[in-house]
Amino acid sequence: MDKETLYALGFYLKRGIGFKTIERIICEFGSFEIAYKSGKFEPDLDRARAEIEKAEKLRVSIIPITSPDYPSQLKTIPHPPPIIYVKGEIGKSSAVAIVGSRKCSSYGRKIAYQLAKFLSSHEIAVVSGLAYGIDTAAHKGAVESDGITYAVLGCGIDVDYPAGNSNLRKAIIEKGGAVISEFPFGTSPSRENFPRRNRIISGLALATVVIEANENSGALITAQFTVEQGRELFVVPANVDSIYSRGSNRLLRAGATPLTDFEQIFEDLPYLKQSSQKKINKVEIDEAYQPIINVLLKGDAHIDKIIAESGLSYCEAITLLFEMESKGIVKSENNRYFLSETGGMF
């Protein structure tokens, strides 16, 4: 692996260096290699080299936030993970998260499975947490439709958890999806890891759909992150006396959008459907990109500035930026976007 990844891992794995310090390193230097050369910080390079050696044996990619391969969508959340471990491939497709409780009804499993199949048929990736129950049904719905799905773990990527989903994990990778974790190799699935994991689930997606969350479900934490990250939150309504949905019904009372029909996702997020279409007229593409181009013609800009000056919603802006980046029209670095001199229309 390259030096940037080595130094990023060295800082990430160094005892005594926490998230705040790493965020300060990124803000001050913009590169872990530059931070290392400054002499202000001392990474644990021995531990980093051992981690890289294991990654190469397991065919796991280690992606620092400073890498162009780091998911653009994830970069925009508050406190994004400095490092992610990826087994498989994270593509450029737009994604929707499907979450819910481990203990769920047959109805909840059916809806999660069918929704994942529906999204896959429109080339929308499905994000979930590989847990039993709703997560498993969502991943299976995508896999069995030859769709892309991403499983975000609350443990090290080398830890077989939950053990009953080993074959599903393999199928996710074989179908072109990925298993993702921010935790170093060997990290056990401790209770405190899962709230951190949940911010990545919502962070990879343009919207989150909650299906059957009980009062103590971790899906409620994912829902909270969804709102904090400025993403759309949908909840599938359930019977008022259902013990499986007391938490999700509470989200509805708090103002979450009821999802009563799968097509409603595209009605509420029209740019999600546009990004999933295989063929779009070039003139329409150029017109859709113009508000963002007008902002970036003035110079590079953070996503917040792009939204404020373009008049686009968060979901509209981030979806268009995904498309523009994949076509080489824009590039991103350190959470800022700028026009490419060689790409797209220029």
- pLDDT for the residue numbered 339: 83
This prediction's pTM: 0.79
Run of H or E including 176: none
Q: Residues 275-329: pLDDT tens digits?
A: 655 433 443 456 778 889 888 877 788 988 998 888 888 778 887 888 888 778 8
How far, in Å, are 65, 125, 150 from residue 241 at the CA level?
44, 32, 32
Q: Is the pLDDT of residue 130 over 90?
A: yes
- Residues whose CB falls within 8 Å of the CB of residue 130, separated by 6 or more in sequence, listed in order: 136, 139, 151, 152, 153, 162, 165, 168, 169, 179
Q: Could you write out the three-class secondary structure of 284-322?
A: HHHHHHHHHHHHHCCCCEEHHHHHHHHCCCHHHHHHHHH
Q: Residues 44-93: pLDDT tens digits?
A: 999 999 999 999 999 999 999 999 899 988 988 989 999 999 999 998 88
- Overall average pLDDT of the 32-54 stretch: 94
Q: How would DSSP label each residue in 271-286? A: HHHHHH-S---HHHHH
CATH 3.40.50.450 matches 95-271: yes
- Overall average pLDDT of the 114-120 stretch: 97
How far, in Å, are 41, 148, 185 from residue 84 at the CA level?
21, 18, 11
CATH number (3.30.360.10, 1.10.760.10, 1.10.10.10, 1.10.150.20) of 280-339 reads 1.10.10.10
Task: Enumerate the CATH 1.10.10.10 domain ranges in the chain, comma separated.
Answer: 280-339
- pLDDT for the residue numbered 282: 40
